[in-house]
Amino acid sequence: MAREEFPGWHGTTIIGVKKGDEIVIAGDGQVSLGQTVIKGTARKVRRLSPGGFDVVCGFAGSTADAFTLLERLEAKLEATPGQLARASVELAKDWRTDKYLQKLEAMLIVTDGTELLIITGAGDVLEPEHNVAAIGSGGNFALAAARGLMESDRNAEQIARDAMAIAADICVYTNGKLTVETIKKAS
């Protein structure tokens, strides 16, 4: 059966907010198949610790594809400890050029507490402007909300939570059941 014959999978909003000495990645819990909510409590934000080096990752897209990418990222981080940007570029290169990986449909937001990056299957490793990154169905809603809140006195977690609440109010593929991970800049 061709992929086009399956109904569209939707239902992820992931946001990364960098403010002060912390970076927060938050993700909603909704997974939808067409117009049906399949699960409302999915965990799309994970903490990896290859070699004792903490990295927080959020993913949008196919879960199996995202887990494949997270495993690959973890291997790249073990090969280049403490070098998130280098590991991310190596993953993006593999993702872009490997015939198996090219078929994966997901996006990642990753951070080590210093850098905040978006990794795509097009070979992109992007450092977002304005210290906010967002991906997924409600990503643009969350991004706009967070950018509007960045000048407030809220911390990174409050901005991420408020932006996700706004996205959940607007995007039918986003809910308010959040997984939130905070990582502070290493001193």
CA–CA gap between residue 12 and residue 165 (Å, rounded): 13
Q: Is 54 exposed, middle or buried (0-12, 13-18, 19+ CB in 10 A)?
A: middle
For residue 157, the one-letter residue type is E
100-106 contacts, C-beta under 8 A, 24 or more apart = 101/68, 101/69, 101/72, 104/61, 104/62, 104/65, 104/68, 104/69, 105/61, 105/62, 105/65, 106/59, 106/60, 106/61, 106/62, 106/65, 106/66, 106/69
Q: Are 70 and 63 in contact (CB under 8 A)?
A: no
Catalytic residue among 12, 13, 111, 174: 12
Between 84-97 and 63-79, two packed helices, what is the crossing angle to 10 degrees? 130
Active-site annotation holds for 12: yes
- Which residues are known to be catalytic? 12
